[in-house]
Amino acid sequence: MCGIVGLYLKNPALESRIGELFAPMLIAMTDRGPDSAGFAIYGDEVGEGWVKLTLRHPEKNYDWEGLAKLFKDQLAVELEWFQNSNVAIFKIHMADETAEAFIAANAPEVLILSAGQSIEILKEVGLPEQIVETFNLKKMKGSHIIGHTRMATESAVTMEGSHPFSTGMDLCLVHNGSLSNHNRLRKELQREGVKFETDNDSEVAAGYLTYRLQQGDSLNEALENALKDLDGFFTFTIGTRDGFAVVRDPIACKPAVMAETEDYVAIASEYQALTTLPGIENARVWEPEPATIYVWERNSEEGK
């Protein structure tokens, strides 16, 4: 079981402070999730034809420079990179599949946490406070961010088992609840070519969405299908390149609170996590309805 938090900025003036606004939200959910924490931040977009990868290696002094050089030497591509703790962000002027294949072939111990043009996923075992420190979250900038604090239910406490789970380009999922039919679903999805790293139920939900989107569903359609095909208790927050989506199962026992002002839309498992947001005293605060899909995206209408 867990805590979910998310912040989508409507006012671009706040983008330089998103990490500072978000860090206390994540920390407020420590009691719900003391095992591990993570977040997916969107911003610092790369251009068309580029891909941004979040890469992880267990050792902090892994030779990222060496890997970057390998890319440049062997593939003659433009590449920029920077490091954040044991994670490196690589921005490469090439197609995602080719970049990922190259890494798989030349640096198989490197784990790809996310891929896209905007997304960066950072997660680790430990208290949320530690994750905030380790990745220097307070200094980060971006347009939207979703995060998660984990209390492992049936699978192990590992970095791989932490949320957010990446489900495709610029897509990720965080989950509070417990699915009940994920084992069979996992096998079916594996047969369709979806890869899983853990025995975690949330990873199955993420893989399911990836698969539906690959089949041509829109985000809304994929989530409608998820409501039908996933059994169990869930509040999901899905991060997309342009915003985020929230959906709860039809029984809706797992909590979710939303707050909206002119400047932002926020979601959290408990109201406590929202109290440090500016203007929260005058925000519209409400709870999402069960079995209803909510999407907020730039360049689109809010709501269901």
Partner 1 sequence: MSECNDVKPGLRESATFDRNTMTEIRRAADTGIYDIRGFGAKRKLPHFDDLLFLGASMSRYPLEGYREKCNTSVMLGTRFAKKPIKLDIPVTIAGMSFGALSANAKEALGRGASIMGTSTTTGDGGMTPEERGQSSKLVYQYLPSRYGMNPDDLRKADAIEIVLGQGAKPGGGGMLLGQKITERVAGMRTLPMGVDQRSACRHPDWTGPDDLAIKILELREITDWQVPIYIKIGATRTYYDVKLAVKAGADVIVVDGMQGGTAATQDVFIEHVGIPTLAAVPQAVQALQEMGMHRKVQLIVSGGIRNGADVAKCMALGADAVAIGTAALVALGCNHPKYDEEFKNIGSAAGFYDDYHEGKDPAGISTQDPELAKRLDPVDAGRRLANYLNVLVLEAQTLARACGKNDLRNLEPEDLVALTVESAAMARVPLAGTSWVPGQSF
Partner 2 sequence: MKTINLETQTVRDLNQALHLQAQSCTEAEWEVLEPKGQHNIACGLDQKIKVEIKGHAGYYCAGMNKEAHVIVHGNVGQGVAENMMSGIVHVKGDASQAAGATGHGGLLIIEGNAGARCGISMKGLDIVVKGNIGHMSCFMGQAGSLVVCGDAGEALGDSLYETHIYVKGEVKSLGADCIKKDMRDEHIEELAELLNRAGINEDPKAFKRYGSARQLYNFKVDNASAY
| From 2, 67, 266, 295, the catalytic residue | 2
Q: Cα–Cα–Cα angle for 264, 46, 24, nearest 5°?
A: 35
Among 24, 34, 232, 255, binds partner 2 (CB under 8 A): 255
Contact call for residue 269 and partner 1 (CB under 8 A) = yes
* Minimal distance, residue 210 CB to partner 1, in Å: 26
Among 16, 31, 58, 181, binds partner 1 (CB under 8 A): 31
Looking at this protein, which amino acid is placed at residue 27? I
* Interacting residues with partner 1 between 216 and 245 (CB under 8 A): 233
Using the minimum distance from each CB to partner 1, give the nearer residue, 32 or 182: 32
253 is catalytic: no
Query: What are the beta bridge partners of residue 42?
Result: 119, 144
Contact call for residue 151 and partner 1 (CB under 8 A) = yes
Q: 91 — phi, psi (to 5°)? A: -110, 115
Q: Taking CB within 5 to 8 Å according to partner kind, which of partner 2, partner 1, none is near residue 285?
A: partner 2
* Minimal distance, residue 285 CB to partner 2, in Å: 6
Q: Taking CB within 5 to 8 Å according to partner kind, which of partner 1, partner 2, none is near residue 233?
A: partner 1
Contact call for residue 227 and partner 2 (CB under 8 A) = no
Q: Determine the distance from the C-alpha atom of residue 16 to the mean position of all C-alpha atoms in its chain, rounded to a whole number.
A: 19
Q: What kind and span of H or E run contains 8?
A: strand 2-9
Q: Which two tokens stand for residue 240?
A: 């997309």
Applying CB under 8 A, the site for partner 2 has a residue count of: 16
| Residues in contact with 71: Cβ distance below 8 Å, sequence separation at least 6, in sequence order | 77, 79, 90, 92, 99, 102
* Interacting residues with partner 2 between 272 and 301 (CB under 8 A): 272-275, 285-287, 289-290
Whole-number Å distance between alpha carbons of 237 and 164: 9
Q: What kind and span of H or E run contains 210?
A: helix 201-214
Using the minimum distance from each CB to partner 1, give the nearer residue, 91 or 254: 254
> What is the phi-psi region of residue 65: left when phi exceeds 0, alpha when psi lies from -120 to 50, beta otherwise?
alpha
Q: Which positions are annotated as active-site residues?
A: 2
Contact positions vs partner 1 (CB under 8 A): 1-3, 31-34, 151-154, 176-178, 233, 253-255, 269
